[in-house]
Amino acid sequence: MTALPGLAGVASVKDAIRRRHGRRGGRAYVVVRWAAAAVFVALLCGLVASIAVDSSQALAHTGIGFIWSGTWNPAANQFGAGILVVGTIVTTFVAMVIVVPVGLGTAAFLSELAPRWLAGPLSTAIDLLAAVPSIVVGLWALLVLSPVFADHVEPFLKSVPLLQWFFHGPAYGPSIMLASVVLAVMTLPTVVALSRTALSGVALADREAAMALGATHWQVVREVVFPGARSGIAAALTLAVGRALGESIAVAMVIGNNPSVPHSLLAPGATLGSAIVNEFAEAAPGIGTSSVIALAAVLLMLTLAVNAGGQALLRRLGPGRLLRSERAERPARPGRAARREVPA
């Protein structure tokens, strides 16, 4: 049977209309995409420019040594971010020491070991924990965790022989250790959720191949699943570090706010975020306000450095590099000339 000429003409007209609308939609998408990118770049440049201008007075007063100067004493007109940078790095490092084993272990349990009836509610509870505001976590830590740390946790840590070098001195409750625990609680949902997604994305064929070779369930998780999800895990840890570096409200409530060299994890300390929260409202106009904004500039540079390092790590561990290495290790196939020489 042959198609009617009228119906063929109608079909061709419909196809032309669809192609025309598709081209219009594609052009509109390109315009919206570039407009959104331009707005984002403009906002970022405006943010950086405003921080640079407002902090110029502090940098002119102290010089470039503001970044590594170890004195922060607004009463004596001495401003330096070095001691606060040290406090920020120490609290973030201790928080990551807690988060990495707990977060990756929880993600592996939810992804590989827990039954579905248990994995679903636990995953939902962890996601809800990520939605708790930071000030609520800080208030809970100040009212609940601080007395527990002062009466039980910190004395116990001081009594452990191998930990006495890190935990010594009087136990006040608010301390660098308590602030690190708060940061660990706040970043744990991010690590668990993203790592669980990365672990679940490992191909089932890789797991079955390892089991076919006689590997146990734990060996499959350790030797196949974790290496296959390493790029996603690296992204989760990068986001967690960025969150820990920039946290301010909760840390300011439990760290003690003492800008000094942290000789012990039980001593009170201060971070860039906590100093900004505590000093901005009471900063004297001029050099005081400019110094607080300069702290924000240092925190921005530190966060950008961490994100840049995370991006470099992701490019190094990404799937593209892994596929290229697999192709390099795969033996070359014989060419046409070699196949022709094979006797029949």
Q: Identify the pLDDT of residue 107.
A: 92
**CATH class of segment(s) 66-323:** mainly alpha
Q: Which of the residue ranges 74-83, 195-204, 334-343 has the most confident prediction, judged by mean pLDDT?
A: 195-204
CA triple 168-170-172, angle to 5 deg: 120
Rounded CA separation 112/210 (Å): 14
- For residue 191, give every residue at least 6 positions away whose Cβ sits within 8 Å of its Cβ, in sequence order, or none: 99, 100, 103, 104, 107, 236, 237, 240
Q: Identify the pLDDT of residue 320.
A: 40
Rounded CA separation 42/149 (Å): 46
> What digits encode the pLDDT tens for the residues 14-33?
565 555 555 555 677 788 88
Domain boundaries, the chain: 11-54, 66-323
Position 337, amino acid: A
Position 344, amino acid: A
CB atoms within 10 A of CB 62: 19
Q: Enumerate the β-bridge partners of residue 73.
A: 78
**Token code pair at residue 159:** 């009594």
> What digits encode the pLDDT tens for the residues 147-168?
998 888 888 888 888 887 888 8
Nearest to 105 by CA among 134, 88, 130, 126: 126
Q: Is the pLDDT of residue 326 over 50?
A: no
Rounded CA separation 213/246 (Å): 46
Locate the DSSP E strands across the chain: none
> What digits encode the pLDDT tens for the residues 262-304?
888 888 989 999 999 888 877 778 888 888 888 989 998 898 8
pTM of the complete model: 0.79
Q: Identify the pLDDT of residue 24.
A: 57
Rounded CA separation 165/92 (Å): 19
> What digits encode the pLDDT tens for the residues 216-234?
888 888 888 998 888 889 8
> What digits encode the pLDDT tens for the residues 303-320?
888 888 888 877 876 654
